[in-house]
Structure 1
Amino acid sequence: MSRPVVAALVGVFSLAACAAEGDRSPQPASADAPAAAARTTQARTGGDADAAARARTVVEGLVPQVPVDSVADAALPGFQEVMIAGQLLYVSNDGKYLIQGSVLDVEARRDLTEASKAVVRREVLSGMDRDRRIVFAPENPVHTVTVFTDIECGYCRQLHREIEAYNAQGIAVEYLFFPRSGLDGEAYREAVSVWCADDRRAAMTAAKAGRPVPERTCENPVADDFAAGQRIGVEGTPAIFNEDGRQIGGYIPPVQMRQRLDALAASRDSAG
């Protein structure tokens, strides 16, 4: 998540001014995280491998508790872009400078940072099987959105109350779980019960309406959904992403969402 990364970086540079550097040995990550990060780095880095490795080392040294997701050549000359918990950082090829913030292409009037984030989000989301989602879709959808949702979130419930209206606008809604209280709270247990229900769509609708869902457990994707949300920087729910990996907002009424999706699609098509 981006706020802890920001806070960690601020803390690193503040402490460096008044104290010697302490032990920054990386904390253990999940078994799959290093391999996934390496695969993404290999896929997205096509230039200076030494600069990429140097940028990874710099960021891992500053924020050892958060795994680096990917490193790639930046559009900003002389820099690598490093994706970490949904936050994009820029590290100079010599490893001396780190920039945090948006890089804008003035001539093209384009946010290059957001475009790079979208690439990583799309990679993460495309790796999550559709049969591991709860889907509400019209017969022939024009657009598909991925929605990270929390059972108890007020705006998530508002969105679901209008699910038929989104479908009428040609929008398919594919839910992933993001229990904001983490993996040991009531929202997590409710998400598991919804997934393990005989009819997941009916259970989701009941839970979103505040009606009780029988508590059940089974093999489920809730923890994987939560980890994916953390990796792409989800901080609140609902978090809505289009098929290109663009975050289009939180709750958006059905007509406005269709308009926004149409505009993004038109922009993509015009860009070739």
Structure 2
Amino acid sequence: MKPMSHPLRRSLGLMLALAAALPAVADEAAIRKNLAERLPNFPKIDEVSKTPIPGLYEVRLGSEILYTDENGNHLVQGSIIDTRSKTDLTQARIDKLTAIDFATLPLKDAVVLKQGSGARKLVVFGDPNCGYCKRLEKDLVALKDVTIYTFLYPILGADSTAKSRDVWCAKDPGKAWRGLMVDGQTPAKASAGCDTAALDRNVELGRKYRVNGTPAMVFEDGSRAPGAIPAAQIETRLAGAKKS
């Protein structure tokens, strides 16, 4: 039999590649169609992709992850754990989806506290009436060689907005913030002429990145941590982020 010419071999290879991709495309179309038809109130699907498990597909809704079969007959909510590496693949995917480019954050709108050399950097979204924020702030005091940028994020009501305004307009906002959160010292009332537009921008920033609660931290590598995680864990995350 006469060997195929190079153009024919290339065409055959392309056809085989396309044929291999067709089932995945068909599965995605079936998943989108069936979920939309069967669940009219189902949120908009941003992405459908294969998982390492044959026949199981990831359905991404913003930064939320669900799983389904190739026909959208079943939905699964939970984590996929790789037992070999002991890795939570679902959480790793969410971390990637929710990562923030640290370099793009508008740090001019944050209250700044420099401790030691300030070489390491940490961003915190905090509400002045948030109890967990106060607990976190007490742990942050002990961190060494870090600059902490706190975006005042008043989401717990009008009093949070008023206190955030007073902190932002203080002569030394960092001192006012820490005094309020750690020592319970009420900052002086803001003057009527103080520019508090940064607070509005902070709220929009938090909404953009889906910061749904406080405290929330962002490390230099873009990874996030919701809630008041222990000080030792913060230190570990800071060290890891600096090496990245």
Question: Which TM-score band applies after superposition, normalised by the shorter structure?
Answer: 0.5 to 0.7
Partner residue of 1:8? none
Corresponding residue of 1:258: 235
Partner of 1:211: 186
Pick from 107, 124, 127 the counterpart of residue 84 of structure 2. 107
- Where does residue 172 of structure 1 map in the other structure? 147
Superposition RMSD in Å: 3.9
- 1:63-121 CA-to-partner distances (Å, cap 9, x unmatched) read 45xx77x536353444134144x532234454333221111111121111111111122
C-alpha deviation, 1:200, in angstroms: 3.1
SS at 1:120 equivalent: helix
Q: TM-score, normalised by structure 2?
A: 0.64
1:159 counterpart (136, 148, 151): 136
Is contact 1:146–1:174 with CA below 8 Å preserved after alignment?
yes
Q: Secondary structure of the residue that 2:92 maps to in structure 1?
A: helix
Count of aligned residue pairs for this structure pair: 208
Structure 1 unaligned spans of 5+: 1-46
Matched with 2:173 is 200
Question: Is the 1:193–1:217 contact (alpha carbons within 8 Å) kept by the matching residues of 2?
Answer: no
* 2:62 is equivalent to residue 89 of structure 1: no
Q: CA 1:224–1:48 in structure 2 vs 1: closer, same or farther (change >3 Å)?
A: farther
The correspondence of residues 16-95 of structure 1 with structure 2, limited to 5 A, is: 48=25, 51=28, 55=32, 58=35, 61-64=40-43, 70-71=46-47, 73-77=49-53, 78-84=56-62, 86-92=63-69, 94-95=71-72
1:151 positional shift: 0.6
The 2-side partners of 1:54 and 1:120 are apart by 21
Structure-2 separation of matches of 1:113 and 1:210: 42
Q: CA offset at residue 163 of structure 1?
A: 4.0
Deviations 1:144-191 (A, max 9, x none): 33322111223322333454421x2x333222344342xx52113322
SS at match of 1:222: helix
Partner SS state of residue 165, structure 1: coil
Letter of the 1:105 counterpart = D
Spell out, residue by residue over 1:205-259, the C-alpha distance to the aligned partner (whole angstroms, 9 max, x if none): 3432331342455312232144146x25x44x32334334242751423x55314
Answer whether contact 1:55 1:80 (CA < 8 A) is retained: no
Cα shift at 1:131: 2.4
Match of 1:190 in 2: 163
Q: TM-score, normalised by structure 1?
A: 0.59
Structure 2: which 5+ residue stretches go unaligned? 1-23
Cα contact 1:52–1:80 (8 A) shared by 2: no
